[in-house]
Amino acid sequence: MHYKHTQDGVVVKASLFFGFTLCVIVGIFLIRSIPFAAIGVGLIAGLMLFLFWLFASLTVEVTDEELKHWFGPGFWKKSYLLVDIDSATQVKNSWIFGWGIRLTPHGWLYNISGLDAVEIQLRSGRKFRIGTDDPQGMIDSIFQKNT
């Protein structure tokens, strides 16, 4: 069984779109009175569009040998050999951890939306979490390949 699941980053995209729209509105008001400030706001709006593209989704894939995950078009792509995975447990993240790439008390968190995640413990002792709206599907696919 090959597993590939993409979760849409609804909250991240909505937040970045709101910020982009606000920058455009502010830039329009500033363009005549303070053109250099409008250029700065325009650059920030461009950055928000770029981040929107990078963090639009989070994809998790389990192949015969690896667990892989990446944001949007392949940004921050990570892969782990299934034989190196000791455990995979469904967990609920605290809202305070937020979205994106974060260092938490439970290791690195890669999350795009919601609070559900799978905590992966590697045989080396290292732990990290991958946010998902299909935690059981991810866990089943890891252990089906890893036995």
Q: Which residue has the tokens 């998790």?
A: 60
| CATH number, domain 58-145 | 2.30.29
Mean per-residue pLDDT, 68-74: 95
Nearest to 72 by CA among 51, 55, 52: 55
Single-letter residue type at 103:
L
Residue-wise pLDDT for 82-112, tens only, equals: 999 999 999 999 999 988 899 999 999 999 9
Res 1: pLDDT = 60
CA atoms within 13 A on the CB side of 89: 11
Measured distance CA(80)–CA(40) in Å, rounded: 40
Q: Which residue has the tokens 């192949």?
A: 63
Measured distance CA(65)–CA(43) in Å, rounded: 42
Q: Across all residues in the chain, what is the average pLDDT?
A: 93
Domain ranges of the chain: 8-54, 58-145
